[in-house]
Structure 1
Amino acid sequence: MRQKKIHTGGCLCRAVRFEADAPAARPHTCSCKMCQRHTGSLTAIWVEFPREAVRWVGPLGSPSTWRSSDISSRAFCGTCGSSIGAIDDQPTVAILLGAFDRTSAVDLQPTYHSYKGARPKWWCIEIRET
């Protein structure tokens, strides 16, 4: 029997940890202003999973959240403040790629870019096909 691949990750202090069943869905980059402010970066890299594919396994359990829109809440560690991702009302958990322990898995590679127009014109995003 083939073992299921699991992605792991968490925050800086390791109080919030997750396990997410592969394969990931809809990995993408985004340069909208909300993502910029959530991450402190010009572009966020998101990896989405169905809610039932993500387990919060750290000592704090699930991350703290802040309601950021009518459809989503931003997720972060209540201890160290690390951004973890977003938990949408639809059954989706979007995790920031930087929160993963191993970021090079093929199914985590972004396939498209959202809100290109919100980035500074000098900021170039290139997603290479594999």
Structure 2
Amino acid sequence: MTETVYGGGCLCGWIRYEAIGPANNPHTCSCRQCQRHSGSLTTAWVEFPRDSVSWTGPGGVPSTFRSSEMTSRAFCPKCGSSIGAIDDAPTIELLIGGFDEADQAALRPRFHSFEDRRPRWWHVDTGPDDSGSSEA
């Protein structure tokens, strides 16, 4: 059985990565740290073991900012794009929007963390997949 390789990176392409599946714990989060890190009310994350993620772009490993006792937020030092979080535990959480093919079923969020911090109008649709798409 072959494992899925998920590619992605920042806006300018300086930071690129490959994560070898399976994708673990895809979810959305509305905690205050995620809001400030992304500039969005909600982020969408997926986790991979640290040894399953390779930094493949010309920029190598992303820059980090220590955001709590257990994690650092990762970003591109050139364009400022948020990449994810590099935990002290052997886990890297990547923002789903940075993947080249973010619409894969394995990356679909399954739950929402810190629901009490999300706007009342925001929710994760846990119903059947919507086969339609709209692009801005």
Q: Is the 8 A contact 2:3 2:22 kept in 1?
A: no
Q: Is the 8 A contact 2:23 2:47 kept in 1?
A: yes
Deviation at 1:85, TM superposition (A): 0.3
Is 1:98 equivalent to 2:101 in the alignment? Answer: no
Q: In the TM superposition, what whole-angstrom CA distance separates every residue of 1:54-103 from its partner, at most 9, and x where no partner exists?
A: 00000010100000000000000001000000000000000000110001
Query: How far, CA to CA, are the matches of 2:103 and 2:123 in structure 1?
Result: 21
RMSD: 1.2
Q: In the TM superposition, what whole-angstrom CA distance separates every residue of 1:11-54 from its partner, at most 9, and x where no partner exists?
A: 01100000000110111100111111111111100010000110
Query: How far, CA to CA, are the matches of 1:84 and 1:46 in structure 2?
Result: 10
Query: How far, CA to CA, are the matches of 1:37 and 1:54 in structure 2?
Result: 24
**Partner letter of residue 73 of structure 1?**
S
Query: How far, CA to CA, are the matches of 1:4 and 1:122 in structure 2?
Result: 37
Q: 1:51 to 1:129 in 2, by over 3 A?
A: farther
Deviation at 1:118, TM superposition (A): 0.4
Partner of 1:80: 79
Partner of 1:110: 109
For structure 2, list consecutive stretches of 5 or more residues without a partner in the other structure. 130-136
For structure 1, list consecutive stretches of 5 or more residues without a partner in the other structure. none
Partner of 2:124: 125
Secondary structure of 2:7 counterpart? strand
Q: Which runs of 4+ in 1 moved over 2 A?
A: 122-130
Secondary structure of 2:127 counterpart? coil
Secondary structure of 1:38 counterpart? helix
Deviation at 1:129, TM superposition (A): 5.1
Query: How far, CA to CA, are the matches of 2:43 and 2:36 in structure 1?
Result: 10
Number of corresponding residues = 129
Partner of 1:36: 35
Secondary structure of 1:81 counterpart? coil
**Partner letter of residue 62 of structure 2?**
P
Partner of 2:50: 51
Deviation at 1:3, TM superposition (A): 3.8
How many percent identity over aligned positions?
A: 54
Query: How far, CA to CA, are the matches of 2:126 and 2:40 in structure 1?
Result: 17
Structure 1 range deviating more: 60-69 or 101-110: 101-110
Could you tell me the TM-score, scaled by structure 2's length?
0.90
